[in-house]
Amino acid sequence: MDVHDLFNSCRKGDVGRVRYLVEQRDVDLNVRDKWDSTPLYYACLCGHEELVQYMLASGAKCEANTFDGERCLYGSLSDSIRRLLKEYKCVSVRAMQRDDFNYFLHLLLEQGQHSDVKFLVHGQTFLAHRCILSARSEYFTEMFESKWRGKHLITLKHPLINSAAFGAILQYIYTGRMDIDISLVEDSRRLAKQCKMADLIEDLENKCKQVYEYVSNKPGICVKVLSLEPNSGQLQEDMAQLADCALPIELRVGFGELPFNRVDRFPTYPDICFRVDGSDFLCHKAFFCGRSDYFKALLEDHFSEGQQLQSQPSTPVITLHNISHEIFTHVMYYIYTDYTELTADSVLDVLCMADMYLLPGLKRLCGKTLANTICEDNVLRLWRMAKLFCLSRLEDQCTEFMAKIIELLVEQPEFAEMVKEDAASLEERQETDSVPLVDDIRYHITSNVQTFSAIEEANQKLEALEELLSSVNIDC
């Protein structure tokens, strides 16, 4: 429903609603509809300049000479919007950080933190991680265990290997994305075939066909850069293999049992061991340091413990206290895949650990799980929890639910106490200043009210809320 609302709001040019959906509801700005169109395309098509400006600043993708960029440019209603799009260069770092996992993978490839293999291709150096290359390509798995076994510097001298195409292949392996000059598509396809990446070959062919059909019908349009969007499901599935392999053997029941599983014959080259409840999890510093400042600080100081894994003497061991292996398993799968299956029984413990380990994305995932449990009996408790853990979307969903049942809530002393606490929490609040909780409830009561019966119902709810405020001597 939020995605449908985003597309509608972009057609209408409702900047406030789009801002609310993006910043409060965490809706992806680059989502696509069944016509392969993005919200930005409709904002350009309908001539909403202010909205286009906000969306570009918030991370909407529209690079020049790409399919999406040229399509938005061609469909723009006004010259001023075209100028905006032409001035737009690329997705900023701030915008990329909205999606923590994609930004982490991009940074991991770009900076090569904790890399354990280096490729030299016609004078150009690429830092990489054997665990990721092996998880994403069986070709690399085989080569690391045969011809490249034990090597940390691999020189590729074949004249048909283009360094730019090799870099694009690495980009695809790490992030699922590929941005490649049209002239290098054939080189990339040849490398993909060598690396046995059938999905990439198919994606390249489909994208080339789509671009050709579009350009042939639009005179004056020139697409020079081919961009493939990530298949997040496949990327997560491949990275999940690293988490499957990291699980201690005694805990693998129920995990890593998918068809064609490669756990038994898939070396992952771990470089850190976490000991939890007496079980050893064989993990990778690149993932734990890259995704969590807590683990980054912990691993930089791990030599103080001085433990080493007996089976792999070069692998240091860190014992984690005050966490069960069940909860750590959830944390680990999130770190590797950006997702973990949460239940009502585990979500609160995972939320506490996510807060301690500085994993905001996992906290948001817990918030989504808790949002599915909102009801009359727990909405006030969940709102307090959302405030405590800074879960803005869950907080908003709670106030939205409160707006629906406000006539029941005003009868509850706990709700009146919450309103007073929220008013008192504002520093230097004047008598007539607003109260955030009340403002949010009012917003949800009055938003999208269109029929006479809905207006009457909204007025009754507002009156009930005003009576409560009057009874507790709050004027706002």
Tokens 């707006």 found at: 403
Token couple for 391: 């879960």
pLDDT in the model for residue 58: 83
**Residue 253 pLDDT > 80:** no
DSSP codes joined into one string, 265-326 = G------EEEEETTEEEEE-HHHHHHH-HHHHHHHHTGGGT--B-SSSTTSBEEE--S--HH
The DSSP 8-state label assigned to residue 359 in this structure reads -
pLDDT in the model for residue 214: 74
Band (pLDDT 50/70/90 cuts) for residue 303 is low
Average pLDDT for 221-231: 77
pLDDT in the model for residue 238: 92
Three-state DSSP state, 226: strand
Query: How many Å separate Cα 54 from the centre of its chain?
Result: 20
Amino acid at 147: K
Top-confidence residue, 138 or 26: 138
Distance between CA atoms of residues 312 and 78, nearest Å:
64
Distance between CA atoms of residues 176 and 229, nearest Å:
7
**Domains of the chain, CATH where assigned:** 2-93 (1.25.40.20), 100-230 (3.30.710.10), 234-368 (3.30.710.10), 374-471 (no CATH)
Half-sphere exposure of 11 (CA within 13 A, CB side): 7
DSSP codes joined into one string, 1-49 = -HHHHHHHHHHHT-HHHHHHHHHTS---TT---TTS--HHHHHHHTT-H
Band (pLDDT 50/70/90 cuts) for residue 90 is very low
Distance between CA atoms of residues 426 and 277, nearest Å:
43
% of residues, the chain, pLDDT over 70: 90
Give the DSSP H or E segment for 92.
none
The DSSP 8-state label assigned to residue 176 in this structure reads S
Distance between CA atoms of residues 422 and 25, nearest Å:
22
Average pLDDT for 372-400: 93
Distance between CA atoms of residues 245 and 266, nearest Å:
8
Residue 282 main-chain phi, psi, to 5 deg? -90, 105
Indicate the pTM of the whole model.
Answer: 0.79
Top-confidence residue, 63 or 377: 377
Q: What does the mean pLDDT of the chain come to?
A: 86
Query: How many Å separate Cα 199 from the centre of its chain?
Result: 22
pLDDT tens column, 403-449: 999 999 999 999 999 988 888 876 555 554 578 889 889 988 988 77
Nearest to 88 by CA among 43, 122, 132: 43
Average pLDDT for 86-94: 55
pLDDT in the model for residue 257: 46
Give the DSSP H or E segment for 388.
helix 379-388
Other C-beta atoms closer than 10 Å to the C-beta of 357 total 22
Amino acid at 375: C
Cα 275–Cα 277–Cα 280 angle in degrees, nearest 5: 30
